[in-house]
Amino acid sequence: MSADRAPYDLVVIGSGPGGYVAAVRAAQLGLRTAIVEKDPKFGGTCLHRGCIPTKALLHVSALYSEIKRAGELGIVVPKAEIDIAQVMKRKDAVVERLARAVEGLLKRRKVELFAGTGSLADPRTVAVRGAKGETARLAAKTVMLATGSAPRALPGIPLDGERIVTSDEILKVSRIPASLLVIGAGAVGVEFASVFAAFGTKVTLVEMLATALPFEDEEVGRELARALKKRGIDVRTSTRVDKVDGDKKGLRATLVSEGAKPETLAVEMILVAVGRRPVSEGLGLEKTRVALEKGYVKVDERCRTAEPSVVAIGDLIQTPRGAHPQLAHVASHEGIRVVEALAGRAAEPVNYERVPSATYSDPEVASVGITEAEARKRGHDVLVGKFPFLANSKASILGDTDGFVKIVSEKKYDEVLGVHIVGPRATEMIAEGVALLGLEATALEVERAVHPHPTLSEAMMEAAEAVYGHAIHG
């Protein structure tokens, strides 16, 4: 690496979906850009240890579940089995292809790539240390921190990477465990619970709060728990894991539920899925005015830190609103908005209330906007329309009728405030909800928009009709 380089307009530390997207957009806008990545390959956690490999496994588990009930459709299939080695090989191949694509994309846009650990030597200089100890100093007008997050540990439950694992290690299993305890029923927990239950593992899913996916609409969480139980998952809400011990024969977890005596559960493997922590250590922030709170980098509504030359995006940050959605698509859009502002273009901050969430469990869950409870808390005269997939023709054709579409509206202007879906292909359907909120659509406009038949999307139309009590098939 050379230490003698002209200043960059932007140096990005971290090549995840926030960092690499920001770097590409910056290059498109004519900014001289460099990106620094400490991992052997570009793409970040989402690509290598998160979104992509997890969804590759979920695709296999969903297909396997469908094959197992092919007889109901009149298709005779010899006994299907999971070859976990091949499943993992294909998952890795998908990741590898996309990693090459990300690196190729950056190179085509003339973004300069630096492999190594990046940190701030001062507010306008990034020091890069390579794997062999070689170093470079990159002068920059602006430095973007996009280092993302990592799985949180749980006090009192030591991780060993083999039997007590996080989402990082469980993506590398070489055999399917006979039993699995999943601690945490957030998106990561319910997704892995769905995968391994489909593969034949006896899964227990524990959540300390009252519902699965506790930050989704309460009705959605209850419906998801019901559907997961139907698929053979033992769902325990309002339950915590008090302690874990074990020996060569296996692990024992003590579960404590409200109003019940402690219970000991014997399992082969435990997945700790209690959220993610920001990766802010080792960035040299002490040499700047960048402020931290509980490890998160504090930013304003435009992702600017207290240091004028340093911006930050993605899972790493805390906004003035507090909680910040740790989602790949949020990081990408923050990165785009920030570099457009750096290039002198008008760029509105991300409206986090119009950011969709998507959980790829079985059944899927997706939402955008505010929940019914939040709408009431804000003083709206709330109207709710809900339509079950059980009454939807396409869901019946698919043989996947669990769940519903729920539209939260308000009486004064009829504006749609939130869309909440649990059921088949919810993560694809929510795009319509995103458009509705972006256009400030009314329930009446959704109802009068002609939806094709037979499709799952008709459930959106009928949920809008249900706001005023006249869904045709409800």
CA-CA distance, 254 to 447, in Å (whole number)?
Answer: 50
What pLDDT was estimated at residue 4?
47
d(C-alpha 321, C-alpha 351), whole Å:
11
Q: Which CATH architecture has domain 164-274?
A: 3-Layer(bba) Sandwich (3.50)
- Residue 5's pLDDT is 56
CA angle 369, 372, 375 (to 5 degrees): 75
pLDDT tens by residue, 294-337: 999 999 999 999 999 999 999 999 999 876 899 999 999 999 99
What pLDDT score was predicted for residue 1?
43
Residue 242: φ, ψ to 5°: -80, -40
453 noted as active-site residue: yes
Please indicate whether the domains covering 164-274 and 363-467 agree at the CATH topology level.
no
At the fourth CATH level, the homologous superfamily of domain 8-150+277-352 is: FAD/NAD(P)-binding domain (3.50.50.60)
Position 3 scores a pLDDT of 45
For residue 2, the model assigns a pLDDT of 44
Residues 6+ apart with CB under 8 A from 3: 135, 136, 137
Number of Cβ within 10 Å of residue 125's Cβ equals 18
This prediction has a pTM of 0.95
Query: To which H or E segment does residue 420 belong?
Result: strand 416-423
List of the chain residues with pLDDT < 70:
1-6, 323
CA 407 to chain CA mean position, Å = 22
Give one DSSP letter per residue of 85-141, joined into a string: HHHHHHHHHHHHHHHHHHHHHHHHTTPEEEESEEEEEETTEEEEE-TTS-EEEEEEE
3-state secondary structure of 249: coil
Instruction: Find residue 240's DSSP bridge partners.
Output: 256
Domain boundaries, the chain: 8-150+277-352, 164-274, 363-467
User: Between 218-230 and 187-199, two packed helices, what is the crossing angle to 10 degrees?
Assistant: 20
The CATH classification of domain 363-467, taken from the options 3.10.20.90, 3.30.390.30, 3.30.420.140, 1.20.120.420: 3.30.390.30
Q: In angstroms, rounded to a whole number, what is the distance separating the alpha carbons of residues 32 and 48?
A: 27
Q: How many helices (H) and strands (E) does the chain have?
A: 13, 25
| Beta bridge pairs of residue 462 | none
What are the residue ranges of helices labelled H in 32-83? 44-49, 51-68
Torsion angle, alpha carbons of 345, 346, 352, 357, to 10:
-50
Q: Report which secondary-structure segment, H or E, holds 190.
A: helix 187-199
- Please identify which of the residues 48, 329, 451, 453 carries the catalytic annotation: 453
Determine contact, residues 375/418, Cβ cutoff 8 Å.
yes
